[in-house]
Amino acid sequence: MNTKKKLEDEINFRDMLKNPLRLFGWVFPIIIVVMIGLGVYYVKNLSLISLNTQPVNAPDTTNIKKEVALKLGGITPAIDMAVIKNPTKEFIAKGKTLYDSNCKSCHGDNGLGDGSAGAMLNPKPRNFHTVDGWTNGRTIDKMYKTLQEGIIKNGMAAYEYLPSGDRMAIISYIRTFVEFPPIKDEELASLDQTYQLSKGTVVPNTIPVATAEKKLSDENYAAVKKISEAKQFLAASRENIGAELIKKSAQDVDKVISSFINGMQNQSVDNFASLVTANPLNYGFKPTVSRYSKDDLAQIYSYLKTVTM
């Protein structure tokens, strides 16, 4: 009670309300504290704040790996050119299935170019029932070219990733909508020549990145292990002339051993001697090694050969 009274004596609240500027004296320390707080926060987080051109949690797209499946390569089946000329029912049915899943959205159920996905496109997806106005053309070789390269500027994508047999099946199906120009032997011959259809295509094996990385690191691990083993031998060896010479002449023992493992191993003694004396630093030796005799270098060589075997 007493202190409150005292406070009221000291601070004249009434007066303060009348003259609000005087409040500043009380608010001022609070502002100072807040400012200092902000300042400390800013300095502590400076690295984050100054780097804040990107959201902190945005994924680093350079690091995103798209994994491929482990797949045995081989030769995609060659195309029987006779089937293209006289497509079987099954071939056309396969074409219809592929058309429905890949092309129908733009070119429409019956190839009228009225698919919903194509509604906004200009030019409109080709109406396969019309005869005129095709960009590439409606002969089989031109249609195949369209699927191979697309007509990108007009919104027609390339379908080069579909196996050539599948593309041929789709074309055979499209050709059932209306009467198309008959297939000429020259067209087939030129198609075959350009795209090697009757030979089939070689598809390389693919292995997932993770597997490849593991393989590499295993191999790398084996090499590292070999180097460290060889180093231990070297350190432990006593009174071996080769080992002593290496200890004396090596600038970088790791490099001596690793360059030996990675290639020198398969050289003859003479080649080893001339390579090392010509460019000692390259192989981890001190320049003085150039003055070593042939015998000394042979000792080094044979010692390295035994410890890296």
Say how far apart CA 132 and CA 178 lie, in whole Å: 13
- Per-residue contact track with ligand HEC, 66 to 105, x per CB under 6 A? ------------------------------------xx-x
134 interacts with ligand HEC by CB under 6 A: yes
Name which position in 84, 94, 95, 106 contacts ligand HEC (CB under 6 A). Answer: 106
Among 231, 142, 235, which Cα is nearest to 181's? Answer: 142
165 interacts with ligand HEC by CB under 6 A: no
Name which position in 140, 170, 234, 243 contacts ligand HEC (CB under 6 A). Answer: 170
Q: How distant, in Å, are the alpha carbons of 32, 233, 270, 284 from that of 258?
A: 63, 14, 19, 9
* C-alpha Rg value of the chain to the nearest Å: 39
121 interacts with ligand HEC by CB under 6 A: yes
Say how far apart CA 166 and CA 189 lie, in whole Å: 19
Residue 300 burial (CB < 10 Å; 0-12/13-18/19+)?
buried
Shortest Å distance, C-beta 81 to ligand HEC: 19
Q: How many beta carbons lie within 10 A of that of residue 103, not counting itself? A: 24
Name which position in 95, 118, 165, 242 contacts ligand HEC (CB under 6 A). Answer: 118
Q: How many beta carbons lie within 10 A of that of residue 229, not counting itself? A: 13
Shortest Å distance, C-beta 99 to ligand HEC: 6
Binding range to ligand HEC, per CB under 6 A, among 12-20, 23-31, 147-155, 250-258: 147-155
Residue 273 burial (CB < 10 Å; 0-12/13-18/19+)?
buried
Name which position in 12, 52, 88, 154 contacts ligand HEC (CB under 6 A). Answer: 154
Residues lying near ligand HEC in the complex (CB under 6 A) = 102-103, 105-107, 117-118, 121, 123, 125-126, 134-137, 143, 146-147, 151, 154-156, 159, 170
